[in-house]
């Protein structure tokens, strides 16, 4: 099943059950300065999860573009990426656990309407309870209508409590995992399941959050006026399970990008994965109006592009390699007619890479000589995270506090310089 078909089936399934399809919001959150990028499908819906009336009703479904960079160092393994599409359906104070779980199970396993996944390979986790909320016996009971008890595990808040940041709607969740190994692992005990999860042999394909609590300054303070359901399935991971792959880079969402790098004989798969992931994310950021810069969102974009280029050099590619991947993203079959890209994408990325390309080699030489990360940043354009990564590879630790202090001094100086100029 190709990714286009997966999106289509997901939306149709929920439309048939009374949900209205809403468009993906921008990657750049509107009216929310607390986060740089949209990280989950629920994020643009926060006011409605808190009780505001949504103009399209109480049952919604969509496919939301998301960027998450907190796991950037994991990119290169089988399942992590910095951009992804999140399939989500919502009940804004309408249905609750019974329907949410039933529909999750049906969509995952039904062959005609859904994805036809093998139920024997599914594992379910349910919230075990803590001082904030009780053990989710209800979800556990409902799941037993569909799944044998030995495939349902109670887990703590670390894995089965969902919230975005320190403030906002939150709640316990139930997560669905799929055994993606070729021969199948058979029935796993909880301990074996946890090991398989750590080894990426079982992969999370869907999450149903039962959002009925509110958090303020990191503390759960109250129950919301309505009980919501917020679900999220990462398209890339779901596609991996459906296409019987053991990693996202072999799915149709990545294969046409990775194959651009086939001509490089380097067996450095991690670098190849980092290159396609970071360039894909950059193209989507630029589509939503982000430009490379030294602060905020622009800095994240700059970091991604520059890091991608360092990895391009590692596999002995060059400037043209970056552009080939950019072109593969904008002409991707799966994005046609769905996402509009910025017509200046190639130009924006070319400028950024050629600027960095000029200082990269000399910067690397300076790095080898042990030059200060602050100089590497200001004179050679090395984002601190890149210097830290290069240092890590050599077993050196960078003193981040010293760098941050120098940066603060530098920013104050350039600001006061600017003010003087302005006054004159």
Closest distance of CB 63 from ligand SER, Å:
12
Tell me if 207 contacts ligand SER by CB under 6 A: yes
Q: Pick from 95, 115, 120: which is nearest to 5 by CA?
A: 115
d(CA 276, CA 221): 42
Closest distance of CB 39 from ligand SER, Å:
7
Tell me if 230 contacts ligand SER by CB under 6 A: yes
d(CA 396, CA 389): 9
Tell me if 176 contacts ligand SER by CB under 6 A: no
Q: Do 212 and 97 form a contact (C-beta atoms < 8 A)?
A: no
Tell me if 78 contacts ligand SER by CB under 6 A: no
Tell me if 76 contacts ligand SER by CB under 6 A: no
Tell me if 40 contacts ligand SER by CB under 6 A: yes
Tell me if 162 contacts ligand SER by CB under 6 A: yes
Which residue number, 146 or 162, has a Cβ lying nearer to ligand SER? 162
Pairing type for strands 83-91 and 59-67 reads antiparallel
Phi-psi region of 110 (alpha: psi -120 to 50; beta: other; left: phi over 0): beta
Tell me if 60 contacts ligand SER by CB under 6 A: no
Tell me if 383 contacts ligand SER by CB under 6 A: no
**Total residues at interface with ligand SER (CB under 6 A):** 10
CA 242 to chain centre: 19
d(CA 92, CA 348): 40
* Binding test (CB under 6 A) with ligand SER, winner from 25, 80, 82, 88: 88
Tell me if 41 contacts ligand SER by CB under 6 A: yes
Tell me if 277 contacts ligand SER by CB under 6 A: no
- The residue number whose beta carbon is nearest to ligand SER equals 232
Which of these segments, 110-118, 132-140, 224-232, 406-414, binds ligand SER (CB under 6 A)? 224-232
Closest distance of CB 416 from ligand SER, Å:
42
Q: What is the dihedral of CA 291, 296, 300, 301, to 10 degrees?
A: 0
Which residue number, 203 or 329, has a Cβ lying nearer to ligand SER? 203
Tell me if 42 contacts ligand SER by CB under 6 A: yes
3-class secondary structure for 134-149? CCCHHHHHHHCCCCCH
Tell me if 231 contacts ligand SER by CB under 6 A: yes
Burial string for 263-298 (b: 16+ CB within 10 Å, else e) reads: ebeeebeebbbbbbbbbbbbbbbbbbebebeeeebe
Q: Residue 166 has which token pair?
A: 């320190």
Closest distance of CB 231 from ligand SER, Å:
5
Which of these segments, 113-121, 190-198, 228-236, 278-286, binds ligand SER (CB under 6 A)? 228-236
Tell me if 203 contacts ligand SER by CB under 6 A: no
Pairing type for strands 202-216 and 219-234 reads antiparallel
Which residue's structure tokens are 């556990």?
140
For ligand SER, the binding residues (CB under 6 A) are: 40-42, 88, 162, 207, 209, 230-232
């Amino acid at each position: 099943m190709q990714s286009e078909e997966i999106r289509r089936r997901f939306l149709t399934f929920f439309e048939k059950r009374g949900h209205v399809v809403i468009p993906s919001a921008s990657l750049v959150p509107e009216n929310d300065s607390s986060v740089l990028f949209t990280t989950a499908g629920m994020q643009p819906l926060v006011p409605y999860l808190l009780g505001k009336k949504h103009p399209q009703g109480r049952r919604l479904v969509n496919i939301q573009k998301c960027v998450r960079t907190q796991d950037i160092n994991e990119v290169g393994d089988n399942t992590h990426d910095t951009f992804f599409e999140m399939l989500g359906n919502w009940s804004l104070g309408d249905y609750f656990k019974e329907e949410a779980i039933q529909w999750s199970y049906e969509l995952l396993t039904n062959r005609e309407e859904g994805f036809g996944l093998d139920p024997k390979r599914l594992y379910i986790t349910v919230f075990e309870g803590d001082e904030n909320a009780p053990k989710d016996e209800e979800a556990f009971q409902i799941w037993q209508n569909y799944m044998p008890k030995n495939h349902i595990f109670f887990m703590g808040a670390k894995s089965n409590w969902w919230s975005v940041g320190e403030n906002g709607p939150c709640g316990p969740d139930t997560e669905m995992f799929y055994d993606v190994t070729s021969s199948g692992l058979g029935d796993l005990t909880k301990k074996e399941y946890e090991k398989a999860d750590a080894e990426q042999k079982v992969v999370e394909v869907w999450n149903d959050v039962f959002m009925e609590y509110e958090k303020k300054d990191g503390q759960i303070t109250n129950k919301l006026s309505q009980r919501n359901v917020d679900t999220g399935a990462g398209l890339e991971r779901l596609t991996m399970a459906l296409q019987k792959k053991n990693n996202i880079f072999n799915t149709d969402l990545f294969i046409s990008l990775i194959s651009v790098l086939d001509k490089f004989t380097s067996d450095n798969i991690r670098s190849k994965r980092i290159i396609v992931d970071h360039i894909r994310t950059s193209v989507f950021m630029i589509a939503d109006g982000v430009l490379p810069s030294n602060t905020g969102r622009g800095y994240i974009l700059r970091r991604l592009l520059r890091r991608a280029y360092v990895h391009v050099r590692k596999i002995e590619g060059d400037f043209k390699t970056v552009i080939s991947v950019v072109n593969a993203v904008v002409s991707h079959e799966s994005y046609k007619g769905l996402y509009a890209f910025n017509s200046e994408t190639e130009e924006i990325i070319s400028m950024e890479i050629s600027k960095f390309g000029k200082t990269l080699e000399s910067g690397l030489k300076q790095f080898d000589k042990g030059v200060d990360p602050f100089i590497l940043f200001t004179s050679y354009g090395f984002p601190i995270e890149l210097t830290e990564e290069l240092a890590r590879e050599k077993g050196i630790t960078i003193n981040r506090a010293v760098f941050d202090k120098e940066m603060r001094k530098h920013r104050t100086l350039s600001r006061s310089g600017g003010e003087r100029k302005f006054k004159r």
